[in-house]
Structures are given as C-alpha cells and as structure tokens.
Amino acid sequence: MNNNILKIENQARRERGFTLVELLFAVFFIFAALVAIVVTTNNVTDTGKHNQAVAEIRTLIGGARAWKSQPVRSGRGNYTGISIQALATAGIDVAPFRANGGDNASYGGPIYLGVWNTGFVLSFGMGVQELKACNALLDKFSADVQLFTSSFCRADGYLILYYRR
C-alpha cells in the first residue's frame, strides 16, 4: 500500500508543470542565444560594409590614376579638372559612381573627387555614427606611399584621403 501512495504523489507533481526557476533558466538561455545571433550578424554586416567601402575607394583611386596617366594629361603636373564626372566622361570605369556628390553603396554617404595641390582629394561620406569604421578605413589605406599623411576622418563622418601625384 505504501507503494501506491508514492505513485500518487509523483503523478501529482508531474501534472503541476514547470517551476518558476526552470522557466527562468529556459528564458535566459533563449535570450542568450538570440543575443549571440544578433551580435554575430552585426559583425558580419559591418565587415561586409567595410570591404565594400574599400573596393569603392580603390575603384576611384585607380580611376583617378588612370585618368592622370592618359596621354593628354600625363604631361600636366597636377589633376586639374578631375572629378567623378571627368573620369566617367574619359571612359574610365568608376561604376556605380557617375557624379560628385553621388551616394556610395556601402554607407550611403556622398563621395567627392577633386583637385588638391598637384594631386587629388577623395571625400567618402560614412555618417557621424561610423567614426570607428572611418578610422579602420583610414588605416587600410595608410600604407599607400602616395597617400599624404594629413588624411583624416572628419567629425561629420567623412573620410578624407589626400593623394600626391
């Protein structure tokens, strides 16, 4: 008979469901998994934006150098008249950019290409909240020997790159 009483007690406990502590642990583990997924996804997105910005900047720098090396301009000492429009008009592929002030695909800010001394300046808009990414991009291009050392990230979210000829 003692055996039957134990069976009744165990059945009653099982029918009551989960305790509050068990539910809190389950919710905590689900929340921790979601946080890990969000953080990982943000890192992947940031890395993708960064790599796309590097490719866009390299496209414009390469286009500017190709524009300068054309026979008509190679004898000149500087980049007089250079702009994204001038590159596109000269037949240099700087897609998707067709005009100064056009938005870049990675951060959505405007891009400007212009004359600076005997070289050129590239302004790449990223947005105020992207200062850390801006500094990372600046570091990416700092090894270029033609990059002038006064290149910097402005407080309004522009990466400014000065290139010598």
- With a cut of 70, say whether residue 14 has pLDDT above it: no
96 upstream amide cis, omega within 30 of 0: yes
The residue among 157, 120, 119 whose CA lies nearest residue 138 is 157
- With a cut of 80, say whether residue 4 has pLDDT above it: no
Geometric angle at alpha carbon 85, from 79 and 89, rounded to 5°? 95
Contacts of 10 (CB under 8 A, 6+ apart): none
**What average pLDDT does the chain have?**
84
E strands, the chain, are 111-116, 119-125, 152-153, 158-163
Tens of pLDDT, residue by residue over 38-75, are 777 766 667 888 889 999 999 999 999 998 888 877 77
Tens of pLDDT, residue by residue over 113-161, are 999 988 899 999 998 888 888 988 998 898 888 898 888 999 888 999 9
Confidence at residue 44, expressed as pLDDT on a 0 to 100 scale: 64
Its pTM stands at 0.72
CB 163 within 8 A of CB 147: yes
Confidence at residue 59, expressed as pLDDT on a 0 to 100 scale: 92
Confidence at residue 58, expressed as pLDDT on a 0 to 100 scale: 92
Q: Left (φ > 0), alpha (ψ -120 to 50) or beta: where does 123 sit?
A: beta
- Whole-Å CA distances, 60 to 70, 72, 139: 16, 20, 17
Confidence at residue 48, expressed as pLDDT on a 0 to 100 scale: 83
Geometric angle at alpha carbon 162, from 157 and 164, rounded to 5°? 170
How are beta strands 111-116 and 119-125 bridged, if at all?
A: antiparallel
Tens of pLDDT, residue by residue over 77-118, are 678 889 999 999 988 988 888 899 999 988 989 999 999 988
